[in-house]
Amino acid sequence: MALPHDSNETSYLLPPSKEDWERQAIPDFVYGQKDLVAEGVQWPKNAPGTLHALPQSPFDAALCSAWRQRVELGLFRYRLRDLQTQILPGAVGFVAQLNVERGVQRRRPQTIRSVRQAFDPEQFNFNKIRPGEVLFCLRREPDLPGTLLQEDILVVINVSPLEWGHVLLVPEPARGLPQRLLRGALRMGVEAVLLSLHPGFRVGFNSLGGLASVNHLHLHGYYLAHRLPVEHAPSAPLDPGGHLHLLQGLPAPGFLFYSRGPGPDLEALISRVCRATDYLTNHEIAHNLFVTRGAPPGKTSPSSALTGVRVILWARKSSFGIKEGEAFNVALCELAGHLPVKTSQDFSSLTEAAAVALIQDCLLPPAQAEEVQAALVALMAQEEQ
């Protein structure tokens, strides 16, 4: 059973005095195979998902209680209120949210010039955050595959949150790893989704050039109490082994990898995804990745059950810096169908057609997209040999 460093939930809370924050050891959240829930987590049939009305796992309880305390202590750049939300009319089902404060108050992105840029200790990085921003250290028990290769992951608040419970998963920050996806980081990101009993807890990754704002390895995790189109979008197989699919019916056709849950199948998925992201990084191709509970590949519908984990990978044009004046910036959550909008005017006027146009403007030109697809199919074929 997943347990905190000392089985009391309050071990994730900071002591009352700020002077004690730095002296307090970072608590561990240790989990094993039995804590990873692969099946039975579904959206309620009536209301789609108020966060606090759904069952909580020990992981959810630890994250949410510690995150809520940091809100009360004022450790965020702004106090996140209930965000005005609308489902854009149309076939896609975009979830648009008005988040003015994030657009105004988030930290300015670092200057990035390459998808393969080296880590720079002089720039902002997660070794420079305040002690109170760390919630806990995510650690795996020895019974899990790949444990010998694991990195311990710090779970840190995102001080400019997109939504409730928005955290960063940071593997061993003292190592100074650049923003390039590693197997251990992806493994624990996928397992974080399986540790949660909320169907709307998702994890994602932005590469450099894919709107990562800090060049220090991290993934995002957050709760969104709404279904997203990537959970159930149909797909077509791209390789004979059925390991790689192409999502269909969405503005941004992504590469879909799927696993029913823990075990060799999940380890194989992690290996395939990281081989794909290594290829993209080595060829200076920006990318975004999104992890969510979802339906199996193939013909699906919005009512399809969430039977496993979908990992969706998008190759895209590089974009260095934030584009001002647009309703939203296109990164991991926007490609998945969640649109945090910066201004009230854009929120009230945004249409599905305008959102699709912004997203498709970030996609690779068709010839390059076909080249990438062929290369990834070839990578999957090499694995079969």
Domain residue spans in the chain? Answer: 26-35+45-382
pLDDT of residue 348: 97
pLDDT of residue 109: 75
- Residuewise pLDDT in 10s, the chain (385 residues): 454 444 444 489 999 888 888 888 899 999 999 999 999 999 988 765 566 678 899 999 999 999 999 999 999 999 998 999 999 999 999 999 999 988 777 767 788 899 999 999 999 999 999 989 999 999 998 877 665 555 689 999 999 999 999 999 999 999 999 999 999 999 999 999 999 999 999 999 999 999 999 999 999 999 999 999 999 999 999 999 899 999 999 999 999 999 999 999 999 999 999 999 999 999 999 999 999 999 999 988 777 889 999 999 999 999 886 666 688 999 999 999 999 999 999 999 999 999 999 999 999 999 999 999 999 999 999 876 5
Q: Which residues, other chains included, contact 214 with Cβ-Cβ below 8 Å and sequence gap of 6+?
A: 107, 109, 110, 123, 124, 125, 126, 179
pLDDT of residue 4: 45
pLDDT of residue 21: 87
Q: Which residues, other chains included, contact 109 with Cβ-Cβ below 8 Å and sequence gap of 6+?
A: 211, 213, 214, 321, 322
Half-sphere exposure for 342 (CA within 13 Å, toward CB): 13
pLDDT of residue 8: 46
Burial tier of 87 (Cβ tally within 10 Å: 0-12, 13-18, 19+): middle
pLDDT of residue 51: 63
pLDDT of residue 63: 97
pLDDT of residue 5: 43
- Of 166, 216, 218, 287, catalytic: 218
- Residue 222 φ/ψ region, left for φ over 0, alpha for ψ in the -120 to 50 degree band, beta for the rest: beta
pLDDT of residue 300: 82
pLDDT of residue 303: 76
**Is 218 considered catalytic here?**
yes
Q: Which residues, other chains included, contact 216 with Cβ-Cβ below 8 Å and sequence gap of 6+?
A: 119, 125, 126, 127, 170, 173, 176, 177, 178, 179
Rounded to 5 degrees, φ, ψ at 152 are -70, 140
Q: SS3 letters for the chain? A: CCEECCCCHHHHCCCCCHHHCCCCCCCEEEECHHHCCCCCCCCCCCCCCCHHHCCCCHHHHHHHHHHHHHHHCCCCCCCCCCCCEEECCCCCCCEEEECHHHHHHCCCCCCCCCCCCCCCCCCCCCCCCCHHHEEEEEEECCCCCCHHHCCCEEEEECCCCCCCCCEEEEECHHHCCCCCCCHHHHHHHHHHHHHCCCCCEEEEEECCCECCCCCCCCEEEEECCCCCHHHCCCEEECCCCCCCEEECCCCCCCEEEEECCCCHHHHHHHHHHHHHHHHHHHCCCEEEEEEEEECCCCCCCCCCCCCEEEEEEEEECCECCCCCCCCCCCCHHHHHCEEEECCHHHHHHCCHHHHHHHHHCCECCHHHHHHHHHHHHHHHHHHHC
The top-level CATH class assigned to 26-35+45-382 is: alpha beta
**Other residues' Cβ atoms within 10 Å of the Cβ of residue 79:** 10
Closest CA to 358 of 330, 316, 331: 330
d(CA 138, CA 170): 10
